[in-house]
C-alpha cells in the first residue's frame, strides 16, 4: 500500500515509524520542517519531501497520483482539509483521513447523519471530501470522562459500540483482592456478573493470569467486563462506589470546557481559568459548574477552594509545565487523585509512576485512533497500553469457513500468535468472556484482544483478513 503522510510531528512520526516497519508499505512524508524530515529519513525507510502539504504541486511531487491512502496529520486543520479536497478532486486518492481539532469543523452538521454516511462524517468535513476523521480533543474528553466515572481506573477503553469496556486499575494495600486468587475473586462476583482479567503487570513484568494467580499490592490489573456490570465489578474488586463527586479542573480550554459540560450534572465541578474573558465565556456556557478566575498554580486560590477536599484534580491547560506544577501542587495540598495532560513524550516517561496518579497523552490517544483506520483486517479499535508497549485491539471477523481462518472454528482450534490473548467476544448483545475456548466464531463477531507485544499485531491482522474468494 502506498501511503502519503502530511505532517512530521509526534503523531505523524509515530505513524510513519509504525507503517515503515510493516512489509509492503511505501511511505512518503511531507512537511515544511526540513530538520524533522532529515531526522525521520535517517532512521526510517521512508521518502521525505519538504513543502506545503496543501500545495497541489507538492502533493503531485510526493506521488499523490498513485497513492492509496492520505493521512493529513499536520497541526493545521485548514491544511489537512484542503489537502483532502485536493487528494479527492485532483488525484483520486481513495482513502483520505484528516486530523481535525476545531469543534467548528467536527461538530457542524454532525446531527445530519443518514444511511449514506456510514462513518458519520459531518457535512462540514464531507465538503472537503474527507472519508474519515480523527478528533484529538474528542478522544481526550471521552477518555477523561471514563476516568471520572470510575475513579480507581487508570484507563477505561470502550469496545463494540460501548458494549464492553477494558479497565486498567492498580491494586492498593487496603483492597479486598490483595492476597486473593482469581478463582476466589470470581466466586465473589454477583450472580450473572463476570469479568475477564486478561493481564497483570507486577513491577513492569507481565503475568499471564491463571485461576490460581494471587493478586499482590501494586499489581496493575487489566480486565474486560460487560459495560452494564462495570460498576458492580469495580465495587467488588476495589470496593469503589460513586461517592467521589468533587472535581476541580485547571484549564478552561476546549478540553476543560467539553469535559465540564459533559459531566457537570453528575459531579460538583469547579473550573479554574486564567484568562478573564474566557472565564466569563465559560460562566455563560456552563450551567452547573463554578468558574474561578485564576491560576491552577496559585496555592492560596487552591487552599481557599478547599483543595484538600477535592476527590479529583485535573490539569488540562495547553502548557505541559503548568499542568505538571499544578498537579503536583494539588497533590501536595491534599487532592485525593490528580490527572494531568502531558503532550511531550519525554515528560510522560519521566513522570509516569510518580506523584501524578494518571498522565494522559493526547498524542498516544490520537496515534491509536489513526492506527485503527490504517490497520488491515477489519480492525475496529486500537488503543495503546503501557505507553505503547502493548495494545488492546477490537477486530470484526467476516466470511465463512472457506474464506476466513477464524469463522466456523473453535477458539482452541486456532493457532493464535504468541502474546495475543482473547479478552472477550461480542455477538450481538451477548458478551462472552475470552476464557470460553469452546466458542465457535461466527461471521460478524467482535473480538477484543489484549496484545502484550505490538509486533504481534501484524500477525493478528493477517489471521483476521478474509481470503480473496470472499469478494468474488
The per-residue pLDDT for 223 is: 94
Q: Is 370 helix (H, G, I), strand (E, B) or coil?
A: helix
pLDDT exceeding 70 applies to what percent of the chain? 92
* Residue with more model confidence, 458 or 289: 289
* Residue with more model confidence, 71 or 126: 71
DSSP one-letter string for 223-286: EEEEGGGHHHHHHHHH---TT--EEEEE--SHHHHHHHHHHTTTSEEEEEESSHHHHHHHHHH-
> Which residues lie below 8 Å from residue 380, measured CB to CB, with a gap of 6+?
159, 160, 372, 394, 395, 396, 446
pLDDT digit string (tens) for 267-288? 999 999 999 999 999 999 999 9
pLDDT exceeding 90 applies to what percent of the chain? 52
How far apart, in whole angstroms, are the C-alpha atoms of residue 254 and residue 101?
Answer: 10
Span 286-297, average pLDDT: 94
Band of pLDDT at residue 335, cut at 50, 70 and 90? very high
Q: Kindly report the length of the chain.
A: 472
Q: Which helix (H) or strand (E) holds 144?
A: helix 136-149
Band of pLDDT at residue 118, cut at 50, 70 and 90? very low
Span 153-181, average pLDDT: 90
pLDDT digit string (tens) for 313-325? 999 998 999 999 9
Whether the per-residue pLDDT at 149 is higher than 90: the answer is no
The per-residue pLDDT for 468 is: 45
Q: Are 199 and 222 in contact (CB under 8 A)?
A: yes
Span 253-270, average pLDDT: 93
* Strand-strand pairing, 420-427 and 430-433: antiparallel
- Ramachandran sector of residue 316 (left: φ over 0; alpha: ψ -120 to 50; beta: rest): alpha
Span 107-128, average pLDDT: 66
The per-residue pLDDT for 447 is: 94
pLDDT digit string (tens) for 402-414? 888 899 999 999 9
Band of pLDDT at residue 22, cut at 50, 70 and 90? confident
Q: What would the grid cell of residue 380 be?
A: 475496529
Span 384-392, average pLDDT: 79
The per-residue pLDDT for 462 is: 80
Q: Are 393 and 457 in contact (CB under 8 A)?
A: yes
The per-residue pLDDT for 212 is: 94
Whether the per-residue pLDDT at 117 is higher than 50: the answer is no
How far apart, in whole angstroms, are the C-alpha atoms of residue 157 and residue 306?
Answer: 31
Least confident of 104-108, 223-227, 238-242, 261-265: 238-242
pLDDT digit string (tens) for 45-90? 899 999 999 999 999 999 999 999 999 999 999 999 999 999 999 9
Band of pLDDT at residue 289, cut at 50, 70 and 90? very high
Q: What would the grid cell of residue 92 be?
A: 483520486
Burial class (CB in 10 A: 0-12, 13-18, 19+), 335: buried
Span 138-149, average pLDDT: 89
| Longest Cα separation, the chain | 70
Band of pLDDT at residue 472, cut at 50, 70 and 90? very low
Band of pLDDT at residue 466, cut at 50, 70 and 90? low
The per-residue pLDDT for 401 is: 83
Whether the per-residue pLDDT at 456 is higher than 80: the answer is no
Band of pLDDT at residue 351, cut at 50, 70 and 90? low
Structural domains in the chain, sorted by start: 2-134 (3.40.50.720), 140-238 (3.30.70.1450), 246-364 (3.40.50.720), 375-464 (3.30.70.1450)
E-strand spans in 62-218? Answer: 69-72, 95-99, 132-134, 153-159, 164-170, 195-202, 205-207
Computed over every residue of the chain, the mean pLDDT equals 87
pLDDT digit string (tens) for 88-114? 999 999 999 999 988 788 777 655 554
Band of pLDDT at residue 204, cut at 50, 70 and 90? confident
Amino acid at each position: 500500500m502506498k501511503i502519503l503522510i502530511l505532517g512530521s510531528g509526534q503523531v505523524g512520526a509515530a505513524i510513519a515509524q509504525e507503517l515503515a516497519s510493516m512489509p509492503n508499505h511505501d511511505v512518503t512524508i511531507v512537511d515544511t520542517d526540513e530538520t524533522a524530515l532529515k531526522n525521520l529519513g535517517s532512521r526510517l525507510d521512508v521518502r521525505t519531501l519538504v513543502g506545503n502539504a496543501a500545495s497541489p504541486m507538492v502533493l503531485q511531487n510526493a506521488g499523490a497520483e498513485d497513492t492509496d491512502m492520505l493521512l493529513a496529520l499536520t497541526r493545521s486543520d485548514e491544511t489537512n482539509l484542503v489537502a483532502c479536497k485536493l487528494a479527492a478532486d485532483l488525484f483520486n486518492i481513495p482513502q483520505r483521513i484528516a486530523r481535525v481539532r476545531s469543534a467548528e469543523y467536527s461538530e457542524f452538521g454532525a446531527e445530519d447523519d443518514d444511511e449514506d454516511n456510514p462513518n458519520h462524517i459531518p457535512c462540514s468535513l464531507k465538503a472537503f471530501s474527507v472519508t474519515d476523521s480523527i478528533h484529538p480533543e474528542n478522544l481526550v474528553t471521552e477518555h477523561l470522562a471514563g476516568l471520572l466515572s470510575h475513579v480507581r481506573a487508570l484507563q477505561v477503553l470502550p469496545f463494540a459500540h460501548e458494549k464492553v469496556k477494558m479497565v486498567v486499575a492498580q491494586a492498593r494495600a487496603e483492597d479486598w483482592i490483595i492476597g486473593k486468587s482469581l478463582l476466589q475473586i470470581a466466586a465473589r462476583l454477583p450472580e450473572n456478573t463476570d469479568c475477564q482479567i486478561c493481564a497483570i503487570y507486577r513491577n513492569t513484568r507481565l503475568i499471564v493470569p491463571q485461576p490460581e494467580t494471587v493478586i499482590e499490592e501494586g499489581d496493575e490489573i487489566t480486565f474486560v467486563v460487560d459495560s452494564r456490570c462495570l460498576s458492580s465489578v469495580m465495587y467488588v474488586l476495589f470496593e469503589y462506589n460513586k461517592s467521589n463527586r468533587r472535581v476541580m479542573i485547571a484549564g478552561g480550554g476546549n478540553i476543560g470546557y467539553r469535559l465540564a459540560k459533559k459531566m457537570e450534572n453528575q459531579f460538583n465541578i469547579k473550573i479554574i481559568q486564567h484568562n478573564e474573558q474566557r472565564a466569563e465565556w465559560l460562566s455563560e456556557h456552563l450551567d452547573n459548574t463554578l468558574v474561578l478566575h485564576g491560576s491552577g498554580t496559585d496555592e492560596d486560590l487552591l487552599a481557599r477552594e478547599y483543595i484538600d477536599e477535592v476527590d479529583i484534580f485535573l490539569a488540562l491547560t495547553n502548557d505541559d509545565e503548568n499542568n505538571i506544577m499544578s498537579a503536583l501542587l494539588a497533590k501536595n495540598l491534599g487532592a485525593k487523585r490528580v490527572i494531568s495532560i502531558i503532550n511531550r513524550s519525554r515528560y510522560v516517561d519521566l513522570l509516569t509512576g510518580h506523584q501524578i496518579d494518571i498522565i494522559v497523552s493526547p498524542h498516544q490517544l490520537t496515534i491509536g485512533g489513526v492506527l485503527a483506520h490504517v490497520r488491515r483486517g477489519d480492525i475496529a479499535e486500537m488503543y495503546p497500553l503501557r505507553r505503547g508497549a502493548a495494545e488492546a485491539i477490537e477486530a470484526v471477523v467476516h466470511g465463512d469457513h472457506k474464506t476466513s481462518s477464524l469463522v466456523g472454528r473453535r477458539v482452541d482450534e486456532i493457532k493464535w500468535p504468541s502474546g495475543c490473548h482473547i479478552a472477550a467476544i461480542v455477538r450481538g448483545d451477548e458478551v462472552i468472556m475470552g476464557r470460553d475456548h469452546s466458542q465457535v466464531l461466527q461471521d460478524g463477531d467482535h473480538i477484543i484482544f489484549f496484545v502484550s507485544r505490538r509486533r504481534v499485531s501484524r500477525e493478528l491482522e493477517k489471521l483476521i483478513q478474509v481470503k480473496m474468494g470472499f469478494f468474488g
